[in-house]
Amino acid sequence: MTAIRTYAQLADEIRAAAGPVRIIGIDGCGGAGKTTFARRLTAAADDNWPTIHTDDFATHDEPMQWWPRMLDQVIQPLLAGRPATFRPYDWMQRRPGEPATIAPSEVVVIEGVGATRAAWRDRLALRIWVDTDSDLRLRRGLERDGDELADFWRSWREAEDDYVEAEQPLQHADLVVAGDPAERLDPEREFVVLSEQQRVPAATTRGH
């Protein structure tokens, strides 16, 4: 059974969670719709919640094993109330870019493949998994990046599969949402919940 929720409802639930800094992880495989979900959630919150992308830590040569840097440079400082400073990877230049600093905030969103890794899973206020069909994810990726990156996408997906098999992020998600919902909805305001574990107060839903 699915339910349609609004991003505004979810933002209210996150605000109600305890903690001076709440880190929200939005995970899923490449092309699932994680960045879009993060954008819509932060827009609904209207509180200037910063978003950090795991693609700022991944590289061409290190698609999934970048996580110690995110733990040291982002997760631990923010939870301690300190700024997070890191050098986002420049995918065009294939090297780290200029330093970026994210100040501690009421809520910080981390989105991207590996956003709910086991290394910090239990420190997250909410773990979200965006679930999308594999073929659609591949089509989205190639439409976005071009057919010339098809070989890169294949190797990237192998690394993702290894991560999913080893860490089972879907099974540990508090909220599983549809990356390609069949239900009729307003996509900028609403999303479809596929399953949920209650870690934050539930808002009213309209069931399907």
Whole-model pTM: value is 0.89
Q: What is the pLDDT along the chain (208 residues), one digit of tens a residue?
A: 589 999 999 999 999 987 789 999 999 998 899 999 999 999 999 889 999 999 999 988 888 999 999 999 999 999 999 999 999 999 888 899 999 999 999 999 999 999 999 999 999 999 999 998 877 776 776 677 666 656 666 777 888 899 999 999 999 999 999 998 888 999 999 999 999 986 544 333 344 3
pLDDT at 145: 62
Domain of 162: which CATH number?
3.40.50.300
CA distance 26 to 37: 8
Interior angle at CA 119, CA 114 and CA 121, nearest 5: 70
Q: Which residue has the tokens 């107060």?
A: 201
CA 41 to chain centre: 11
Pairing state between β 22-27 and 126-131: parallel
Q: Provide the domain limits for residue 54.
A: 3-207
What tokens were used for 207?
A: 């069931």
Q: What's the pLDDT score for residue 208? A: 37
In the prediction, which pLDDT does 61 show? 85
Polymer length in residues for the chain: 208
Give the residue among 131, 123, 202 at the shortest CA–CA distance from 170: 131
**pLDDT, position 65:** 92
Number of structural domains found in the chain: 1
Residue 102, pLDDT score: 97
